[in-house]
Amino acid sequence: MNPSVIIVGAGMGGLATALRLSTLGYKVQIVEKFYQAGGRLNRIQKDGFTFDTGPSFFSMSYEFHEFARECNLQLPFSFRELDPLYSVNFRGSDQTYFLYKDIARLAEQFEQEEPDFEAKMERYLAKCGGLFHDTVDLVIKQNFNSLVHYLTTLARVNPRHLPVLFRKFHDQVNRYFDSERARQIISLVAFFLGRTPFDTSAVYTLLSYTEFRHDGYYNVEGGMYKIVEGLVDELARRGVSINYNTEISAVESRDGKVTALVDLHNHFWRADMFVVNADAAFFRGKVLERKAFSPRKLDIMQWTMGYLTIYLGIKRQLPNVHHHNYYLGDNFYDYARDIYKNPGTLQKPYYYVNVLSKHNPDCAPQGCESLFFVCPVPDLRYKADWSDRDAIVDSIIDDFSQRVGVDIKPEIVSRTVFTPQEWEKHFNLYRGSGLGLAHNLMQIGAFRPHNVDEKFKNLFYVGASTVPGAGLPMAVISSKLVTQRVVALRRKFAADKVR
């Protein structure tokens, strides 16, 4: 008889794990707190507009192709490469920088402030590439069974990278570039990890290599939610059911194994094994009531920043605004230093704008535009009161209008806002932290919450706050790592029966 698995959460990690396990013959069910699948990778359809709620592009497309091959399917969504990757504008400047993958073309934009930009960028990317190739397969794409296993693996990394461990992202970038604008633009990718260049390890400069040299970024045709729709449809064809509006509140256990999950309606969900795609740290604290993950302990962990997300439908088009755009202020250091704890930082916000309808006209009525704003903000530990959210949103809209030379306020026909309060409420993101636990050196690898439970041998975890970390390709890798765990336990059970 095929073993049964229940997956808690239909985010990218949960959906990918369900497909992997169904391919291997497991009987899989999913329970999901929200009314539709996707987790952070979700969608809003309102007033004739479509908005991606979270990720708006992805990297490492080869991980998706490998995932599809291993699950015996054709990728159920189409995507195209971005070039330029995105644009960057500084407050008070008319210049827009375009991050082309062609380094010579990119360098032309820095002729005045960084005349030898091309040579510097090539040296920088060579170092980033070395970090990537010497660490990703060895450290990121494998399970660790103990701290000793992890540390001995780290010892195999080329020692030339050791100094990078003790630097921050921005410090590493500063070693290669002199102009402040070049430094800020190259450092932007650190924000993709949910932290700032000043508190992100320089190890993650390897992301610059993934941006410019190793695959780049991709847009999904029709919007990012097409990934979710495609995976859900494939799961339905395989007989995998998703039970929505189902939040797990407790577990039933016996002899070191979970026997059932219990939802808020006191329904018992029974299976042989269980995989949790809810936040791995939050679930251990809230549902399993582990002292090591109590609110007091969770609050002293390092978390990614909160996000203020704004979804606007406007009754005009913005031909001079590109698909992916970053709008930076004139207070880079102060902003990055204060963003986690000082709500006053939002008086001069940094933000990102995605114009989903730019290449996906079906996502807005004819002649209209679908806009998605993301502004990093303090999480709910530092800003619990969001009664001023409309004033903050209006200030961002005013700043954007000034930058693009069009007052969009009277053009708005649809407006939705998620503060960290909504992100916590809808998706159980701890304190509204956008991407879960941060990726500092003491919260990665074997120091991150494990993908196998400390007490229950048939309980596993997948997703952002377990290994390897946050991001769509990391969720795909996480699904592979947890599947290996499940398969290993099944083999152990079978061997025990033979004995």
- % of the chain residues with pLDDT over 70: 98
Q: What is the pLDDT of residue 325?
A: 97
**For residue 331, pLDDT beyond 90:** no
Q: What is the C-alpha to C-alpha distance for residues 470 and 305, in angstroms, rounded to an integer? A: 13
pTM of the model: 0.97
Q: Give the list of residues 6+ apart from residue 422 with CB closer than 8 angstroms, or none.
A: none
Residue 405 has pLDDT above 90, yes or no: yes
Decide if pLDDT at 475 tops 90.
Answer: yes
Q: Reading across the β-sheet that carries 248-254, which strands appear in turn?
A: 248-254, 257-263, 268-270
* Per-residue confidence band for 154, with pLDDT thresholds at 50, 70 and 90: very high
Span 212-259, pLDDT tens digits: 999 999 999 999 999 999 999 999 999 999 999 999 999 999 999 999
pLDDT category at 499 given cuts 50, 70, 90 is low
pLDDT at 296 > cutoff 90 = yes
Q: Is the pLDDT of residue 496 over 80?
A: no
Give the pLDDT band (50/70/90) at residue 335. Answer: confident
The Cα 388–Cα 394 span in angstroms is 10
Residue 192 CA neighbour count, 13 Å, CB half: 25
Q: What structural domains and CATH numbers belong to the chain?
A: 4-46+55-79+220-299+437-498 (3.50.50.60), 116-215 (1.10.405), 306-430 (3.30.519)
Q: Answer yes or no: is pLDDT of 395 > 90.
A: yes
Mean pLDDT, residues 41-57 = 97
The pLDDT value given to residue 220? 97
How far apart are the C-alpha atoms of 170 and 165, rounded to whole Å?
13
Q: What is the mean pLDDT of the chain?
A: 95
Joined together, the tokens standing for residue 345 give 């930082």
Nearest to 96 by CA among 104, 105, 86: 86
Whole-number pLDDT of residue 411: 98
Q: Are strands 49-52 and 43-46 parallel, antiparallel or unpaired?
A: antiparallel
What is the pLDDT averaged over residues 97-107? 98
489 has a pLDDT exceeding 80: yes
- CA separation for the pair 366, 141 (Å, rounded): 44
Does the pLDDT at position 340 exceed 80?
no
If residue 417 lies in a helix (H) or strand (E), which one and from where to where? Answer: strand 412-418
Contacts of 165 (CB under 8 A, 6+ apart): 201, 202, 203, 441
Q: Decide if pLDDT at 337 tops 80.
A: no
Q: Is the pLDDT of residue 345 over 70?
A: no
Please state, for a pLDDT cut of 90, what percent of the chain lies above it.
Answer: 93
Residue 338 has a pLDDT of: 78
Q: Is residue 339 predicted with pLDDT exceeding 90?
A: no
Q: Enumerate long-range contacts of 161-166, CB under 8 Å, 24 or more apart.
A: 161/130, 161/131, 161/134, 161/135, 161/203, 164/131, 164/201, 164/202, 164/203, 164/205, 165/201, 165/202, 165/203, 165/441
pLDDT score of 229: 98
pLDDT above 90 (res 494):
no
Per-residue confidence band for 498, with pLDDT thresholds at 50, 70 and 90: low
- pLDDT of 346 reads 65
As a whole number, mean pLDDT of residues 111-126 equals: 96
